[in-house]
Amino acid sequence: MPATRTLVLAAVLSLSAAADDPKTDPAAVIDRAAKALGVADKPPAAVMAKAKVTIHFGEKTFESETVTTAEGVDRGRSESDGEFGETVTVVTGDKGWRVVNIDILDLDGTALANEKRTLYLAAVAVDPAVLKGKGFKVAVAADEPVDGKPAVVLTGTGPDGKGFKVLFDKATGLPVRVSAPGVAGFDGDEAEQEWTFAEYKDFGGVKRPAVTTVTRGGKKFMTQRLTEFQVLDRVDPKVYVKP
């Protein structure tokens, strides 16, 4: 083979390899994570999760149980029943509402934007392929440690233009942390929030973290222990209807 053709072929092969290299190609990181989670061949149309939740306020803790249903990055319903009372929060596209005990409140403006952001950040850990969707921009950044283990880092912005990071265990490819600045809490104040995932278990062929630890501003905020997880073919539209 002539020297020129050999050099051209070598360059093409080099570029092809780089395109599949998790060190440079975010799509390779995303695809590996989806495969590790068991959702690469059949991305979930919708999911349902039940969890026991401990909320931390200083030295005090409050217990609750939650049921969350989500479709993609812009439709979801979360029900919480515990020491704070009963709360239902629903987002469906550009509309949302919340029930606190017997009070019904429409979500709009900042409140709706905050809930939509939380919804898509949660969706990233269920099916990382959403990061390839409309409105998302991601890039590979320098590795960071999570609990002493190296993790591949994707930095990006969501459909609202706000930033976030997703970290994937370098050995397994599984998501181990999502972090985002300026996430609103119960009181409306914004702070850096991190969701750290641990103790992955198999739920009907799909892997999910049994324990999720949430920090706000570097302080422990919430611990979620997953008790049930299902992939759904569809969600009854009635769950999004305001009472």
Which of 19-28, 29-38, 46-55, 120-129 has the weakest average pLDDT? 19-28
Write out pLDDT tens, residues 103-124.
999 999 988 999 999 999 999 9
Q: Which of 225, 232, 230 is nearest to 66 (CA)?
A: 225
Residues in the chain: 243
Q: Please, which pLDDT band fits residue 41 given cuts at 50, 70 and 90? A: very high
Angle at 35 between CA 29 and CA 37, to 5 degrees: 100
Q: Which of 40, 12, 38, 13 is nearest to 28 (CA)?
A: 40
Q: Quick check: 188 pLDDT over 80?
A: no
> Model pTM?
0.86
- Local structure of 117: helix, strand or coil: helix
Q: Please, which pLDDT band fits residue 7 given cuts at 50, 70 and 90? A: very low
Domains of the chain by start residue, with CATH: 24-231 (2.50.20.10)
- Local structure of 239: helix, strand or coil: helix
Using CA atoms of 214, 217, 219, 225 in order, give the dihedral in degrees to the nearest 10: -10
